[in-house]
């Protein structure tokens, strides 16, 4: 019996000699703790400041913004003066689309209709969740207008109602997966009541239209429809909508848009807090003036007053109206870039200069 105890004691001592020295508590912790599997972290390119990385994309290097010019001549008759309208457009993608290699979501339209040669349509459309809604609106709204306004005598109420109807009818042609778009329209037309040309404007969203005298005096400014605006927030609340974190439904920064059917229950033109109905206004053209239209890529960095002063200054110092418009568009674009190589958001700028070339006959 004594021999057996001695053997057991010797065996235990040998086992202890082969065991690493640990305290009893540390040994229990190590036995009870199971280390989770931790894969080696991936090393990704730094993209916290995308402006710095633009130079790495040589094939997508930011090109000069697209600049285009248009001139329209409206001859005098027994009632109306002759007008010349010179338009300059400038557009470019924002940094996000450049880095992601995705298309520009802005669209614009400048045109006359064959059977309405004395009418001029100018519009800017800022799409979101894709470019399809903006592309459809830029095509369909002018067509809807010309179909409704092909009558001999137009009145202000008729034109403004046609503008509203064109927005609502265009929305019916936008599918739920086409996204949405803002729209800001300037429509130049001859008003027989006033024996003069007038400009009717319609706006839904945060793209903006300004009309100014050549000296920079503001004549008209459209209202931005954003969730941060107290007037629009009240309208949304009255309609049963909710503004969260300064956004409609917590997602959309605008409170009026064409499309966005996913936020309208899939039914276009339904009475909801997010509506396509624009605000409208009409202004008589008594002197030479200019119109500035742009998506919010500009207005996020430039005020309306500064923009009109800049355009007025360039028209005054340039040798021709066309050169003045080009210089002004390029300077406004630089403001939108805010010191970067490209704007953060897509930018589209349309400037139209309206001048009388002689008096009525």
The pLDDT, as a whole number, for residue 270 is: 60
State residue 62's pLDDT score: 52
Q: What is the model's pLDDT at position 49?
A: 27
In DSSP notation, 178-238 reads G-EE-EEEEEEEEETTTTEEEEEEEEESS-EEEEEETTS-EEEEPPP-BTTSHHHHHHHHH
**Residue 106 and residue 126 in contact, taking contact as beta carbons nearer than 8 Å:** yes
Averaged pLDDT in 10-residue chunks for the chain of 361 residues: 47 44 41 42 31 32 73 84 93 90 93 89 96 96 92 87 97 95 97 88 98 97 96 90 89 94 74 90 94 97 97 96 95 93 93 82 33
CATH number of 71-358: 3.60.40.10
At 154 the pLDDT is 87
Given this model, what pLDDT does residue 13 score?
A: 45
- The structural domains of the chain, with segments of one domain joined by +, span 71-358
pLDDT score recorded for residue 63: 53
pTM of the model: 0.81
Residues 301, 130: Cα–Cα separation, whole Å: 23
Contact 53, 47 (CB under 8 A): yes
User: Strands, E, within 64-205: which ranges?
Assistant: 66-74, 82-92, 106-113, 116-128, 180-181, 183-191, 196-204
Q: What is the DSSP string of 65-78?
A: PEEEEEEEEE---S
Q: Give the per-residue pLDDT at 31.
A: 45
pLDDT at 283: 95
pLDDT at 79: 78
Cα–Cα distances in Å, from 340 out to 90, 94, 294, 337? 17, 11, 19, 5
Number of separate helices (H) and strands (E) present in the chain: 9, 15
- What pLDDT, on the 0 to 100 scale, is given for residue 19? 42
């Amino acid at each position: 019996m004594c021999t057996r105890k001695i053997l057991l004691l010797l065996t235990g001592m040998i086992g202890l000699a082969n065991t690493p020295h640990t305290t009893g508590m540390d040994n229990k912790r190590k036995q009870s703790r199971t280390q989770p599997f931790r894969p080696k972290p991936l090393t990704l390119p730094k993209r916290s400041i995308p402006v710095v990385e633009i130079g790495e994309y040589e094939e997508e290097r930011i090109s000069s913004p697209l600049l285009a010019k248009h001139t329209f001549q409206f001859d005098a008759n027994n009632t109306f003066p002759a007008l010349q309208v010179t338009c300059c457009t400038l557009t470019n993608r924002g940094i996000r689309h450049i880095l992601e290699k995705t298309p520009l979501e802005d669209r614009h339209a400048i045109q006359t209709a064959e059977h309405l040669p004395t009418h001029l349509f100018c519009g800017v459309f800022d799409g979101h969740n894709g470019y399809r809604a903006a592309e459809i609106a830029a095509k369909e709204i002018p067509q809807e207008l010309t179909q409704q306004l092909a009558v001999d005598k137009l009145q202000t109420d008729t034109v403004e109602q046609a503008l509203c109807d064109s927005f609502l009818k265009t929305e019916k042609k936008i599918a739920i997966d086409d996204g949405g778009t803002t729209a800001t329209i300037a429509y130049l037309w001859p008003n027989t009541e006033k024996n003069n040309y007038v400009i009717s404007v319609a706006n839904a969203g945060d793209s903006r239209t300004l009309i100014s005298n050549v000296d920079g005096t503001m004549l008209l400014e459209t209202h931005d429809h954003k969730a941060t605006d107290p007037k629009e927030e009240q309208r949304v609340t009255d309609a049963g909508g909710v503004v969260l974190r300064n956004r409609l439904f917590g997602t959309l920064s605008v409170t009026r848009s064409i499309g966005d059917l996913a936020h309208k229950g899939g039914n276009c033109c339904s009475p909801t807090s997010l509506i396509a109905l624009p605000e409208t206004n009409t202004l008589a053209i008594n002197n030479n003036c200019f119109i500035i239209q742009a998506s919010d890529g500009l207005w996020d960095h430039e005020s309306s007053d500064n923009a009109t002063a800049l355009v007025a200054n360039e028209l005054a110092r340039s040798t021709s109206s066309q050169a003045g418009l080009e210089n002004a568009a390029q300077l406004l674009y630089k403001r939108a870039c805010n010191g970067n190589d490209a704007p953060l958001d897509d930018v589209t700028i349309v400037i139209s200069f309206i001048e009388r070339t002689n008096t009525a006959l």
